[in-house]
Amino acid sequence: MNLPEPIQNLINALSRLPGIGPKTASRLAFYLLRTDSALSMDLALALQGMKDNIGYCQRCFNITGAGRELCEVCTDGRRVDDLICVVEDPLDVLALERTGGFAGKYHVLHGVLSPIEGVGPEDIKIPELFQRAATESIREMILATNPSMEGDATAMYIRQQLQPTGIQITRIARGLPVGGDLEYADQSTLLKALSGRQVMN
């Protein structure tokens, strides 16, 4: 049975979202069909409002309100200017901000290097990071890319390129999560935890 075109179009659109396969997209589409039309309108308006009213900071490339040149973090005078944390995407900024433990500023790459997928330095915000390193007085740069093959490759590339600048390049620590059990940790996580051990004070 062929579905009516509007429903099929919605299923196709929803299934292009990350983590949503055809079955979930179908369930969501039929839920929206059954529910009050106000929910569908609210969803449509929220999506349109997000696209119309959100932009990117011209310095760090984090999200900000449309029409604003700099984001809230970049304009916050209480933040440390010479400490930059490099992350893959804006969600990483939100995660770090929730900790309340970072007082520096950010640089959002909007991706990672991936030669297999044809993503090189010029395809993400690496040239802009190097420009900041050349023009701003940066004391330390924390590379907080994800602990994946692509994240590690991106961090290595940035470190190699910035080594001659004299900026201290650090990498976020890795290891066991709080509350985790050794017996359930994989070999790679255990090795990282051992190599990143610290002196107890």
Q: What mean pLDDT do residues 24-50 have?
A: 94
Average pLDDT, rounded, for the chain: 91
Q: Classify domain 5-52 at the CATH topology level.
A: Helicase, Ruva Protein; domain 3 (1.10.8)
pLDDT surpassing 70 at residue 201: no
d(CA 103, CA 82): 10
Q: Classify domain 80-201 at the CATH topology level.
A: Dna Topoisomerase Vi A Subunit; Chain: A, domain 2 (3.40.1360)
- Lowest-pLDDT choice from 17-21, 97-101, 106-110, 136-140: 97-101
**Using an 8 Å Cβ cutoff, are 127 and 121 in contact?**
yes
pLDDT at 199: 66
d(CA 28, CA 30): 6
pLDDT at 184: 77
Sequence ranges of the domains in the chain: 5-52, 80-201
Residue closest to 137 by CA, chosen among 180, 167, 109: 167
Higher pLDDT, 196 or 43: 43
Q: What mean pLDDT do residues 145-151 have?
A: 90
Long-range contacts formed by 189-197: CB under 8 A, 24+ apart: 192/147
pLDDT 10s digits, 50-109: 999 999 999 999 999 988 999 999 999 999 999 999 999 999 999 999 988 899 999 999
- Lowest-pLDDT choice from 31-40, 51-60, 147-156, 187-196: 187-196
pLDDT at 189: 77
pLDDT surpassing 80 at residue 169: yes
